[in-house]
Structure 1
Amino acid sequence: MLDLTYDTPKPKVISGATGDWELVIGMEIHAQVSSEAKLFSGASTRFGAEPNSNVAFVDAAMPGMLPVINEFCVEQAVRTGLGLKADINLVSAFDRKNYFYPDLPQGYQISQLYHPIVGEGEVLVELSEGIARLVRIERIHLEQDAGKSIHDMDPHMSFVDLNRTGVALMEIVSRPDIRGPEEAAAYVGKLRQILRYLGTCDGNMQNGNLRADVNVSVCRPGQYEKYQATQDFGHLGTRCEIKNMNSMRFIQAAIEVEARRQIAILEDGGKVDQETRLYDPDKNETRSLRSKEEAHDYRYFPCPDLMPLEIEQGWVDDIAAALPELPDAKKARFMQDFGLTDYDAAVLTAELENAAFFEKAAQGGDGKLAANWVINELFGRLKKDDRAIADSPVSPEQLAGIIRLIKSDAISGKIAKDLFEIVYTEGGDPEAIVEARGMKQVTDTGAIEAAVDEIIAANPAQVEKAKANPKLAGWFVGQVMKATGGKANPKAVNDLVAAKLAL
């Protein structure tokens, strides 16, 4: 387990004209289920297809077409719930959420209000080394996505693309446990990481596969503690929902600007209206979209086309048994098994692909050395070349080979960097390259001693300076390394120079 202090971080405090205010934030994350077919039809979910090409009759609300539940989407929701340590409801049900919009052909959305498939869970969010916030999950329910209205193709017309209609979403609803913009971004990041590890959502925010509705309110210091004691939301102030956020940076900016907007209203004697708002990043402001509807405004009622969904505990247990190692557990194992620092383990487990690469590279025999090479050398070079780990010219097996050569003293750290560059640009087996190009480190102390003696004999004045100031002995080390083409064992050179100069 990770050694974390569950010390409640201080909430974000904004000073107003009449005193301090604290932020209270809850989030509704819409995560697109990783599935090749939609929630209630067999239509493809492929992104980037021609408009209206991935649409089944039921998606288009053709008369007489009935939804059929996609079992794999249900399995993905259960897997997500288990990954978030949540309760799995063996009986759940679908409801109709009624509203009219051009990209909603049925005139309603099939969702789960009263009986969601997943109940209460939790997400552990690390905010700094050793300090964490526990964000409670209220529920996760399955629902179908709507289509997309397109307004920028013609100034006089709007278009509707139904490709997304019916795509399965998991709506992950948090409690109002988040207390600042940075925490909100960290929470989304951690949730995204867990979903990607589970394989239930690809987390692609740019394509809209993971997006957040952010509920923001402000209250005076002490009010949040009253809410915790009573669970009375009245202590938290009126919330406004910022809709469809798909950027960590914009989430933070939107929360900050919305909180200040609400504070200005309250300090001016006004009242914050509960509503849905949009964030404009160009103007760095939120603007009203519509009044915030309550459940009764949508006239929810049980979907008559779908029977209650009943699943067996044995099936849930089988899914639980097949769960992969999740980020926190992997990070703790890396720290314990490889002796990594909290920071290095966090970097290496941030993405599943990075963790897998590191573990293979660590087979070179030194986990700490492998971590250093992956984080500093490989990641640095990939970033410079704008390449992903999946496109790395150096395989983990090749990097493990370089590490084995370092560990066996076959090459020095400097030669290793030259070797890494050759492998990165030309490919090949590291050991074979070292043999073919004569890159092996000189470990013969006799040969190194001869080079040291030669340099000392040729530079008597420098010898006297070094004896007077031992720090200058490094000059001799550099000359010996130069004379041996950088192949001499650096430790052996240092030891011999010190001995010869009687330092």
Structure 2
Amino acid sequence: LLDYNRAGIPLIEIVTKPIEGAGERAPEVAKAYVAELREVIKALAVSEARMDKGQMRCDVNLSLRPHGREEFGTRSETKNVNSLRSVERAARFEIQRHAAVLNSGGTIVQETRHFHEEDGSTTSGRIKDNAEDYRYFPEPDLVPVAPARTWVEELRAGLPEMPRVRRNRLREEWGVSEHDMQSILNAGAVDPIVATIEAGADSAAARKWWMGEMARNANETGKALDELPVTPVQVARVAELVAKGDLNDKLARQVFEGVLAGEGTPDEVVEKRGLKVVSDEGALSTAVEEAIDGNPAIADKIRSGKVAAAGALVGAVMKATRGQADAARVKELILEKLGVEG
């Protein structure tokens, strides 16, 4: 009948040294630190570190001091902040609050504070004038542990590749800029992209679909990428169908729509919805001729050398084939039939 709550689930509390000199960028630094720490925890398989599920929390400690003074100012501690965005917002609010109090000649009170998601503000929690208020006391049954240096190094040698090292390696392998890599990281797309590449897709296609269609769906549904009902193997399969010419991008998006809606695997969705590119030259040729006959003025422009006007006829053919034609091949046929070189 005993309620053991989360007995057996370890709690790790990590306390940083004071981070000095961040100035007005302190909120960004705090967010970046927690983000990197979260990635390390995930890489070590210690936890999934889902802040929204309570697997990781952050207490934002902050103080201000005048320029030239070495002694730290009185700090406040905003408790249990539960998202990276909120870490930044809490730090920014506290900087502004501290500054307003100090500039008006007031005194900062050492206390814990509560963060409010709805407006990014904090309110007073519990006053903590000194260390005794934290109820620190020695536990006689828990003695200090001093692990042997050799054991520490042995453990270090068995660690997986650290997130920063991995990101730099992947960035070079994928040939993307630091800005693009940061966007991929912010979207939580690194692991899905890696898994999609391992499933057979090239890196460009994997990045394209996860950072495009998948990210859009995640944003619309309020889910993380790894919570979407689609797997890296399925994304790789769609990328393969596009590479083979069986699908174009428009049809691929419809396939993903079906997969995300629970209609089955990519191949099953293609079959059920009839989503293959029209590759029958006869059918394409007929559709092209009908488009030319139905748009004589545009056809004359193309014959006179205005090749860009072919886009209108390509659009007409794509509409007639419900987007299932190969646009590049359609344009080639149009120019061939009008006797114009591309």
For residues 316-331 of structure 1, the aligned pairs below 5 Å read 316-331=152-167
Structure 1 residues 288 and 444, CA, compared in 2 at 3 Å: closer, same or farther? closer
Unaligned runs of 5+ in 1: 1-49, 56-162, 224-233
In the alignment, is the contact (CA less than 8 A) between 2:187 and 2:215 conserved in 1?
no
Conserved in 1, the CA contact under 8 Å of 2:31 and 2:87?
yes
Give the letter for the 2:192 counterpart.
Answer: F
Instruction: Trace 1:265-414 onto structure 2 (pairs within 5 A).
Output: 265-270=101-106, 272-273=107-108, 275-279=110-114, 281=116, 284-287=121-124, 289-294=126-131, 303-350=139-186, 354-362=189-197, 363-414=199-250
The AA in structure 1 aligned to 2:56 is: L
Indicate how the Cα distance of structure 1 residues 451 and 210 shifts in structure 2: closer, same or farther if over 3 A, else same: closer
- What is the alpha-carbon distance in structure 2 between the residues aligned to residue 297 and residue 361 of structure 1? 48
Q: Which moved more, 1:239-248 or 1:392-401?
A: 239-248
**Alignment equivalent of 1:418, drawn from 236, 251, 254:** 254
The one-letter amino acid paired with 1:194 is V
1:305 to 1:433, Cα distance in 2 relative to 1, 3 A: closer
2:316 match = 479
Distance 1:329 1:351, change over 3 A: farther
Q: Distance in 2 between matches of 1:250 and 1:438?
A: 46
Name the % identity: 27
Residues 398, 280 of structure 1: alpha-carbon distance in 2 compared, 3 angstrom cutoff: closer
SS in 2 for 1:328: helix
| In 2, Cα distance between equivalents of 1:356 and 1:287 | 40
Please report how far the alpha carbon of residue 167 of structure 1 lies from its aligned counterpart in structure 2 after TM superposition. 5.6
Structure 2 alignment gaps of length 5 or more: none
Between the aligned partners of 1:187 and 1:328, the Cα distance in structure 2 is: 12
Structure number with higher relative contact order (C-alpha < 8 Å, ≥ 6 residues apart): 1
Moved more, 419-428 or 363-372: 419-428
Counterpart-to-counterpart distance in 2, 1:472 and 1:254? 55
- After superposition, the C-alpha distances for 1:5-57 in whole angstroms (9 at most, x for unaligned) are xxxxxxxxxxxxxxxxxxxxxxxxxxxxxxxxxxxxxxxxxxxxx9x6117xx
SS at match of 1:486: coil
Distance 1:430 1:304, change over 3 A: closer
The answer to whether 1:214 aligns with 2:60 is yes
Distance 1:474 1:394 in 2: 34
Query: What is aligned with 2:3?
Result: 53
Q: What is the letter of the counterpart of residue 492 of structure 1?
A: R
User: TM-score under structure 2 normalisation?
Assistant: 0.78
User: Counterpart in 2 of 1:493?
Assistant: 330
The 2-side partners of 1:455 and 1:495 are apart by: 14
Distance across 2 between alignment mates of 1:387 and 1:280:
23
Distance 2:125 2:273 in 1: 68
Q: 1:339–1:367: 8 Å Cα contact kept in structure 2?
A: no
Report the counterpart of residue 226 of structure 1 in structure 2: none
Contact persistence 1:405–1:431 (CA under 8 A): no
* Alpha-carbon distance, 1:407 to partner: 0.9
Letter in 2 for 1:404: E
Q: Residues 465 and 319 (structure 1 numbering): CA distance in 2 closer, same or farther, change over 3 Å?
A: same
CA distance in 1, matches of 2:8, 2:179: 42
CA drift at 1:471: 4.0
With over 3 angstroms needed to count, the CA separation of the structure-2 counterparts of 1:427 and 1:365, relative to structure 1, is same
RMSD of the alignment, in Å?
3.7
Residues 396 and 285 from structure 1, CA distance in 2 versus in 1: closer, same or farther, beyond 3 angstroms?
Answer: closer
- The structure 2 residue matched to 1:461, chosen from 284, 297, 303, is 297
Cα distance between partner residues in 2 of 1:214 and 1:349? 23
**In 2, are the aligned partners of 1:278 and 1:288 still within 8 Å (CA)?**
yes
The separation in 2 between residues aligned to 1:204 and 1:435, in whole angstroms, is: 37
Aligned length: 332
Aligned-pair CA distance for 1:328: 1.9
Report the Cα offset of residue 293 of structure 1.
1.6
Cα separation, 1, equivalents of 2:218 and 2:64: 43
Give TM-score, length-normalised by structure 1. Answer: 0.56
- Change in Cα spacing, 1:498 to 1:176, as seen in structure 2 (3 Å) is same
Give the structure with the higher percent strand. 1
- Cα gap change, 1:197/1:237 in structure 2, threshold over 3 Å: closer, same or farther? same
Pairing partner for 1:176 from 16, 19, 23: 19
What does 1:39-118 align with in structure 2 at a 5 Å threshold? 53-54=3-4
Q: Structure 1: which amino acid aligns with 2:31? A: A
Question: Are the equivalent residues in 2 in contact too, given 1:415–1:487 (CA < 8 A)?
Answer: yes
Structure 1 runs of 4+ aligned residues shifted over 6 Å read: 163-166, 295-299
